């Protein structure tokens, strides 16, 4: 392993933290945004430091095919449940609506439309998102030990983000 890898440095210098590295080849800024929002919602009030890699960004943004390969409906739902009316959230919602995954219909598309226009989610949307989140979480618990053909073993349909130590 690289001697300057964050995990190696944290171990060598006995840091009080453990690096959690997200991402995989092919993931880009929109995927990273959704994954980081899930991480932030589960880590509060702890401190999180992001190291942004320029390789995640391209002038035209992420392609739909690359995004759909790494798309996590569960990450999207967790983000929607915590989204506030901010420039970043409105932009991310509009960008997600430009992807086939974001336009697939149902409660997620409706919630994205609300966030994209700066509106709060309705009570009905919040309830349906909570139900969908419970279903996806249970599916993950049931199927996580089994890899899906064509997907990295540790990242699929709402599974945990790909991490490295």
Q: What pLDDT was estimated at residue 126?
A: 97
> Looking at per-residue confidence, does 79 or 32 come out higher?
79
Whole-angstrom distance, CA of residue 80 vs CA of residue 27: 20
Q: Is the peptide bond before 45 cis (omega within 30 degrees of 0)?
A: yes
- For residue 21, which of 39, 3, 34, 2 has the smallest C-alpha distance? 39
3-class DSSP state of 163 = strand
Whether the Cβ atoms of residue 46 and residue 130 lie closer than 8 Å to each other? no
Whole-angstrom distance, CA of residue 4 vs CA of residue 37: 27
Whether the model clears a pTM of 0.85, i.e. scores above it, the answer is: no
pLDDT at 18 over 70: yes
């Amino acid at each position: 392993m690289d001697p300057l890898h964050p995990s190696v440095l944290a171990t060598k210098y006995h840091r009080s933290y453990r690096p959690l590295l997200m991402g995989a080849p092919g993931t880009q800024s929109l995927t990273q945004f959704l994954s980081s929002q899930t991480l932030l919602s589960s880590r509060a009030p702890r401190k999180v430091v992001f190291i942004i890699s320029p390789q995640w960004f391209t002038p035209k943004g992420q392609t739909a095919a690359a995004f759909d390969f790494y798309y996590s409906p569960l990450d999207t739902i967790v983000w929607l449940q915590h989204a506030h009316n901010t420039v970043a959230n409105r932009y991310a919602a509009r960008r997600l609506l430009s992807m086939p995954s974001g336009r697939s219909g149902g409660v997620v598309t409706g919630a994205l439309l609300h966030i994209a226009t700066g509106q709060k989610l309705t009570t009905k949307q919040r309830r349906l998102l909570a139900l969908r989140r419970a279903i996806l979480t249970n599916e993950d618990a049931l199927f996580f030990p089994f890899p899906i053909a064509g997907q990295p073993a540790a990242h699929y349909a709402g599974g945990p983000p790909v991490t490295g130590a």
